[in-house]
Amino acid sequence: MRTLLDAHVRTHTPEEAARSAAPGPERLVPLLLGAARDVSQERYRDLLHALRVAGFTT
């Protein structure tokens, strides 16, 4: 699963990745942020911002 999340945050925009959290934000937001952090600090910050804009507080 972690490999899929890593690929997802690498190949999609932060906004697209944030939208993918909608089915289960309580579970998916932490997983997406962890994957983004493994990619880079910049990707993590971009995804965090996109999640906040999408209404998912962390």
Q: Distance of CA 24 to CAs 18, 32, 40, 54, 56, Å?
A: 11, 11, 24, 13, 10
DSSP codes of every residue in the chain: -HHHHHHHHHHS-HHHHHHTTTT-HHHHHHHHHHHHHHH-HHHHHHHHHHHHHTT---
Reported as a single tens digit per residue, the pLDDT across 16-50 is: 999 999 999 999 999 999 999 999 999 999 999 99
Reported as a single tens digit per residue, the pLDDT across 2-14 is: 899 999 999 999 9
Whole-model pTM? 0.91
- Polymer length in residues for the chain: 58
pLDDT of residue 2: 83
